[in-house]
């Protein structure tokens, strides 16, 4: 959602993969003639990366070492 601005309230709703966002003027304000007041778009789920539970996110795993002889 866009950041709040004086005079405009934003809302959103979702039905399945379709998201609708709308801008509504608050008390004492009006939207400009021809101003777009709603947007509809489809969202696609993106797979999440899986982390090795032995690694801490944001760190580099230790280098492999040779066995001691």
Decide which of 60 and 12 is more confident.
12
User: What pLDDT, on the 0 to 100 scale, is given for residue 45?
Assistant: 82
Angle 37-39-40 from CA coordinates, rounded to 5°: 150
User: What pLDDT, on the 0 to 100 scale, is given for residue 4?
Assistant: 73
Which of 44-59 are b and which e, b meaning 16 or more Cβ less than 10 Å from the residue's Cβ? eeeeeeeeeeeeeeee
Predicted confidence (pLDDT) at residue 10 exceeds the cutoff of 80: yes
* pTM, full prediction: 0.56
Token representation of residue 61: 């795993």
Taking Cα atoms as reference points, which of 62, 59, 69, 21 lies closest to residue 43?
Answer: 21
Predicted confidence (pLDDT) at residue 63 exceeds the cutoff of 80: no
């Amino acid at each position: 959602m866009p950041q709040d601005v004086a005079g405009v309230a934003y809302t959103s709703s979702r039905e399945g993969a379709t998201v609708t966002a709308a801008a509504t003027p608050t008390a004492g304000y009006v939207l400009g003639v021809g101003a777009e007041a709603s947007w509809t778009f489809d969202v696609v789920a993106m797979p999440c990366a899986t982390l090795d539970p032995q690694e801490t996110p944001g760190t580099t795993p230790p280098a492999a070492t040779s066995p001691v002889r």
